Structure 1
Amino acid sequence: MYNEYNKIFWGIFIATFNIKLGAIKILPTFIGYIIILNGLSSLYKKTHIEPFNKSKTFAIIIIIITALSEFMEFSSIESNNLFLFNEIWIVFSSVIELLIFYNFFDGSIEYFNNNNICDLACETIKKLRFYIIVSVINIIFLNFALIFNITFLNIIIPIILIILRIYLIMLIYRFKNTSVEEIETK
């Protein structure tokens, strides 16, 4: 399980912190989501836990969304002409990301319960609730910012998003360490 969680860890890292060389992104966002998909696929193959499979489906959708976004950005398609489309696109991708990680955590909780790691399962349930609440609040703020062009929210939303991603990275790092401890005790 260490390798699977490690892939998801690095996928989130790459999806959050894009590496650019001048105007060209070396590791665009969709590459991070492809790595996440790879980790989710491996988790599903090893465990056959259905929420991991659902998470894979949403990961495929977000890969397509982010790849199209990168293509539009790279080909310099004028985003002013697609303003309403871009607003819907941003909100839709935020909801899809929430669904990816909800199902991922749901599958992880089921895995931990099946393997008698109940402390981590209970802790993950609490952290999942926090993640869902903050993500939904961020999506609501995003809608208000896009509809009413509220400058303050345009500053807060990316900060909340980065904090959520770091929160995810820390949780998955914990899952990786639990997998290593599990291997060492067997």
Structure 2
Amino acid sequence: MAKAFNKIFWGSLLVFFNFYINNFDILPNFLGYLFIYLGLTGLMSYSDQFSKAKTYVLILGVVSIPLIYQFEAHITEQIEMTTNTYILMAIYMVVAFVQLGFVYHFMRGLLEIAQVAPFTSLEKKTGTLLRFYIILTIVTQIISLLILISHAFALSLAPIILVLAIVSFIVEIILLVLIRQFRSKSLEQDMN
């Protein structure tokens, strides 16, 4: 179990960090999703939720391939909403909901492991983080939809977008820490 969590952790870390050189992602997300997929395969015997999560990870891996190239964004005083901007925003919204599906099933699987193992200290953390992640994703996508409908909202929602970006960053780090904690607990359990 610890090896599977290790793969998921490193895969999530690859997805989390984006390093671009000349607009190309040198650590492509699809590699991270491959690691996550392999890790989920190792956890399938503990919960069928991990099998469901694999489907979403496969979709994310395929969708992330064309996103290796980052289109140049020119920052001006006025936000320009081009056709490419709308298309990219729509793609990222779909990706966010697929990501939500993955995280939902992954964390439901973690909850099942926490209940059976028992990892009681991690059970409450996982449930709370799952609820918060769902709410954060939905709020973020509603705001993105408002911007997509009328770009006039973009400037007025800028402070909210900044706060959501910071909170999302923190939540992703908490998720990485949680994965590491499950790995540590599974190592302890294997030792006993």
TM over 0.5: yes
1:142-157 aligned at under 5 Å gives the runs 142-147=144-149, 148-150=153-155, 151-157=158-164
Q: Unpaired segments of 5 or more residues in structure 2? A: 73-80
Q: Taking structure 1 as reference, are residues 99 and 107 closer, same or farther at Cα in structure 2, changes over 3 Å only?
A: same
Change (3 A) 1:141 1:156: farther
Matched, 1:129 2:127: no
- Aligned counterparts, 1:3-14, within 5 A: 3-14=3-14
Q: Distance in 2 between matches of 1:183 and 1:128?
A: 26
Worse-matched range after superposition: 130-139 or 152-161: 152-161
| Alignment-derived partner of residue 34 in structure 2 | 34
> In structure 1, which of residues 50, 53, 56 is the aligned counterpart of residue 54 of structure 2?
56
More helix per residue: 1
Give unmatched runs, 5+ long, in structure 1: none
Q: 1:109 to 1:28 in 2, by over 3 A?
A: same
Residues 1:83 and 1:26: Cα distance change in structure 2 (over 3 Å): closer
Name the structure 2 match of 1:67: 65
Alpha-carbon offset, residue 72 of structure 1: 7.3
Give the percent of matched residue pairs that are identical in Structure 1 and Structure 2: 28
Q: Indicate how the Cα distance of structure 1 residues 146 and 154 shifts in structure 2: closer, same or farther if over 3 A, else same.
A: farther
The count of aligned residue pairs is 179
Q: CA deviation at 1:169?
A: 0.6
Taking a change above 3 Å as real, the CA distance of residues 38 and 80 of structure 1, as seen in their structure-2 partners, is farther
Root mean square deviation of aligned Cα: 2.4
Shift of 1:80: 4.5
Cα 1:72–1:26, aligned 2, differ >3 Å: closer, same or farther? closer
- Work out the CA distance in 1 between the residues paired with 2:169 and 2:129: 16
Residues 45-103 of structure 1: per-residue CA shift (max 9 Å, x gap): x32x21101100000111111112225759xxxx9543332221010101111110110
Change beyond 3 A, Cα 1:64–1:72: farther
> Structure 1 residue 146: deviation in Å?
3.7
Output the TM-score relative to the length of structure 2.
0.81
The one of 141, 156, 161 equivalent to 1:139 is 141
Is 2:76 the counterpart of 1:85?
no
Query: Secondary structure of 2:65's match?
Result: helix
* Partner in structure 2 of residue 15 of structure 1: 15
Residues 50 and 153 (structure 1), Cα distance of their counterparts in 2 relative to 1, 3 Å cut: same
AA in 1 matched with 2:128? K
Ranges of 4+ aligned residues in structure 1 off by more than 4 Å:
71-74
**Structure 1 residues 174-183 or 112-121, which shifts more?**
112-121
Query: Which residue in the other structure is 2:76 paired with?
Result: none
TM-score w.r.t. the length of structure 1 is: 0.83
1:125 aligned partner, one-letter code? G
